[in-house]
Amino acid sequence: MNGSTNTRTPDRPAAASPEDSSGLGARGRLILITLCGATFMTGVDYSIVTVALPEIGRDLRFASAADLQWVATACLLPTAGLLPLFGRLSDLVGRRRLFTLGAALFGALSLLAGLAPTPGVLIAARAGQGVAAAMVGPTALALMTAAFPEGPRRTKALGINGALLSLGFVVGTIGGGLITSGLSWRWTMLLLALFGAVVLVGALTLLPGTGDVRTAKRLDVPGALLSSAGLFALVYGISTGGAAGWASAPTLGALIGAAVLLAAFLVAESRHADPLLPLGLLNRRTVKWSALTGLITFSMCGGTTLLLSLYTQDVLGWSPLATGFGFLAEGALALAGGTVAARVIARRGTTATIATGLLIQAVGTAGMVLLPAHGDLPLLLVTSGLMGLGHVLAVVAFVTTLTSGLRDDEQGVAGSIAQMPQFVGAIGVAGLTAVASANGSLLDGLHTAMGAAAVVVLAGIAVAVVGLRAPAGARTA
């Protein structure tokens, strides 16, 4: 075995050994709480504000619904655009240092958002939160893989992390409704500031100093500019295309610009001595195919969750708060999936776990086609719960696959790649919404889109089984 590269592949179950233990230890649990707390915080951030948007618009007197939507979009765009940059920058300046800075900025900007007197100040603060989240996301994952060596402990940590990401969405949706109804929308931002402060304290007192080891020599500035601009344009085009029109000049301009910029980025990376995103890493079987399965599960789960929100509110007439409670089964089974993921992977291997998770997600999504116009709460809870369970199993297994067998100096970049499907997955929201809108009846359109999502998830199983199959003669654990 080469001393600098781990050739172990995660395709098959690891053989049991006396040294293997999934116990994290007292300090390990505290480190995990800190890092997963950051993941939970960013998950809450993306959902908690959605329910509060109407009150924010009234309180700050936004001029239009399009302007109000920027309260959500302003946070999403910089996070998606800056993930590769901060993933690489963490290797340059130190992961612990960048994580700590991100947590501090997130808390401070959440406080500013909670106190914002005008729409402009709120949108600027939300954009700053997005930048801070881009610092926290990939560095948290890289610190986690460094703190927990490859094997049962890391898989267990990633399982908890994946479950809390999904749970954060549900808690944010419900919490946003409760806080906005009982207090004020401003408390949603102040709660995020409190989360940021707790994560910051944990980062300063618990994270090991080895997290500040620098593994990169210089920053690829052309690659950083091209990737950030390209991803920004891509996510902007996808997230605004539904409202502006897919054939509109702004949408087409953004998507064409994204294609040109990202193509130029790949050319620049192939010629740079120290690239932002090494193409050799991106072309690894375990990286590219696991990232693709991650994109499938995130895009279809996110898109279907939006379809369920439209079903409960526009078909059944539920309030946003009641809709949030309707996602409880999804959150609860997602949490359960995260707790058992390590054991499933240990027994079946990552590829089989990805396929199993996607199959469960597809079954739950397909079952939603049976949701009636008059409502069926048990069916809603069962189908959404299965979707959440399968989604988290697939997420934990794809992240485990993607981060396994890599050198320490590759983990920062790998962290940004693993985070990317969450944000580029907005393509699923856009695509499924377009399918639903193409039908005359809202319910028929939702059923058609849900069926389409199930088919895409099933196709993801083929991607996982074929793409992640170990080549003949490959060494496995």
Query: Quick one: three-class SS letters along 364-414?
Result: HHHHHHHCCCCCCHHHHHHHHHHHHHHHHHHHHHHHHHHHCCCCHHHHHHH
| Residue 266 pLDDT | 87
At residue 224 the predicted structure's pLDDT band, cuts being 50, 70 and 90, is confident
| Amino acid, single-letter form, for residue 249 | A
Which carries the bigger pLDDT value, residue 327 or residue 197? 197
* Nearest to 42, CA basis, from 188, 167, 124, 165: 165
Q: What average pLDDT does range 222-235 have in this prediction?
A: 83
| Residue 475 pLDDT | 45
Q: Is 259 exposed, middle or buried (0-12, 13-18, 19+ CB in 10 A)?
A: middle
pLDDT tens readout for residues 257-316: 989 998 998 888 888 777 777 788 778 888 889 889 999 998 898 888 878 888 888 888
* Whole-structure pTM value: 0.77
Burial 345-356 (b: 16+ CB within 10 A, else e): bbebbbbbbbbb
At residue 214 the predicted structure's pLDDT band, cuts being 50, 70 and 90, is low
| Residue 30 pLDDT | 84
198 pLDDT above the threshold of 80: yes
CA distance 58 to 200: 33
Q: What average pLDDT does range 451-462 have in this prediction?
A: 94
For 262, what's the count of Cα atoms within 13 Å in the CB-facing half-sphere? 14
| Residue 417 pLDDT | 82
At residue 66 the predicted structure's pLDDT band, cuts being 50, 70 and 90, is low
Q: Where are the alpha helices (DSSP H) in 61-149?
A: 65-93, 95-114, 119-147
CA distance 304 to 281: 31
CA distance 459 to 357: 13
At residue 470 the predicted structure's pLDDT band, cuts being 50, 70 and 90, is low
477 pLDDT above the threshold of 50: no
Average pLDDT, the chain: 80
Cβ–Cβ < 8 Å for 86, 190:
no
Q: What average pLDDT does range 86-109 have in this prediction?
A: 87
| Residue 380 pLDDT | 93
Burial 414-453 (b: 16+ CB within 10 A, else e): bbbbbbbbbbbbbbbbbbbbebbeeeeeebebbbbbbebb
Q: What average pLDDT does range 168-183 have in this prediction?
A: 73
* Nearest to 399, CA basis, from 421, 377, 382, 380: 421
Q: What average pLDDT does range 250-254 have in this prediction?
A: 86
At residue 138 the predicted structure's pLDDT band, cuts being 50, 70 and 90, is confident
| Plot region of 16 (φ>0 → left; ψ -120 to 50 → alpha; else → beta) | beta
* Nearest to 326, CA basis, from 386, 380, 387: 380
At residue 142 the predicted structure's pLDDT band, cuts being 50, 70 and 90, is confident
